[in-house]
Amino acid sequence: MATDYYGVLGLARGASDTEIKRAYRKMARDLHPDVNPDPGAKERFGEVSRAYEALTDPEKRRIIDLGGDPYETGGGRGGSPFGNAAGFGGLGDIMDAFFGGAGGRGPRGRTREGEDALIRVDLDLDETVFGTTTEVTVDTAVLCDVCTGAGTAPGTHPETCSTCNGRGEVQSVQRSFLGQVIASRPCPTCQATGQVIPNPCPKCAGDGRVRSRRTIPVKVPAGVEDGMRIRLAGYGEVGPGGGPAGDLYVEVRERPHDVFTRDGEDLHCRVTLPMTAAALGTTLKLETLDGIEDLTIKAGTQSGSVLTLRAHGAPRLRGTGRGNLLVHLDVQTPTRLDGRQSELLRELAGLRGEDLTDGNSANHGGLFTRVRDAFNGR
């Protein structure tokens, strides 16, 4: 069965070129791998691109309308029994070569779609977490305000190309062992458009567009992550001949934060506690992105413990609610003690039954004695 290329784009047979382009642009924007992370989107994007290529090529579309598949090479229903081995590009070119046909491609329109554009913007953590509106400045092609895309000087119009007589292609006759072969190629004078502009617009030199710098407001949604792209439809480059503009993609780059690190919708930070605070317990004032929060430290807290502040992380971009703030606790052991402090710690050790002396008892030596004996294998 031949592939239904019209059906791939959601179109009925006989759809116009404009309908084909409109359907392709809509589906490509939704399925592009840079925008849609779904694993099946990449394969679907390839199918849509293949269908668009087939339906915008007049020869391939003729084969499709006859019920064949232009990509099949085995002589399937309606397809070319010669494939592309003869170097003519399909059945239509082979028939043209033997019978002197004109190729049937026709001129290419001067108006074409514009390219997409990409720009990067640096944002702080609180801007990506809570969302913001920022402005980006881009240098891009915009519609010429003098000729409004026509490319002609005021009061003038395009004229039919005298080289190809408006066909958009020129033919040459070559002799081969098969006889006379008529080959067609794009017209070099009009670039296959069938028209020339004898009096081009003085501002855009006939291109229908000019370079311009403009400032565009960008609404950044709450919860956007580093590397994500925001699509602004129609803010890309205007196409040649005043064609429809492409899209502008704004890629987010999140600046490193002094306190917090991010893992998806969760935030992480580290807090260092004095040994006494960890042992006795305390309440700390912790500055979060939402403001000052009380952090309760329970008595006996160990280094490496993690406390969780619910719903203090980033919003879920494709869901509801927020992530959490995870506070990692490091207990700090004092490195310098004066005499009184050392005395108090030794007293505490004695009260807790912790022998810190290097005694000589035969039954239970001090701490250092036990370490020495273990080292010597006793």
Res 378: pLDDT = 47
Res 83: pLDDT = 35
The reported pTM is: 0.61
299 within domain boundaries:
yes
93 within domain boundaries:
no
Residue 272 maps to which CATH number? 2.60.260.20
- Beta strands at 117-123 and 248-254: parallel, antiparallel or unpaired: parallel
Res 106: pLDDT = 65
Res 176: pLDDT = 61
358 within domain boundaries:
yes
CA distance 92 to 80: 9
Res 108: pLDDT = 80
Res 280: pLDDT = 94
Domain check: are 281 and 307 in the same one? yes
How many residues are present in the chain?
378
292 within domain boundaries:
yes
Domain check: are 265 and 326 in the same one? yes
Q: Which two tokens stand for residue 287?
A: 């500055």
Domain check: are 265 and 327 in the same one? yes
356 within domain boundaries:
yes
Domain count, the chain: 2
pLDDT along the chain (378 residues), means of 10: 84 87 84 74 84 87 82 45 35 39 61 91 96 94 91 92 90 67 83 91 93 94 94 92 91 96 96 94 95 95 96 91 96 91 89 69 45 47
Domain check: are 265 and 324 in the same one? yes
CA distance 211 to 221: 30
- Beta strands at 325-332 and 291-297: parallel, antiparallel or unpaired: unpaired
272 within domain boundaries:
yes
Res 258: pLDDT = 95
Instruction: Give yes or no for a contact between 271 and 295, defined as CB atoms under 8 angstroms apart.
Output: yes
Res 75: pLDDT = 37
Res 349: pLDDT = 87
Domain check: are 356 and 328 in the same one? no
Res 88: pLDDT = 35
Res 361: pLDDT = 40
**Residue span of the structural domain in which 372 resides:** 349-376
306 within domain boundaries:
yes
CA distance 185 to 105: 10
60 within domain boundaries:
no
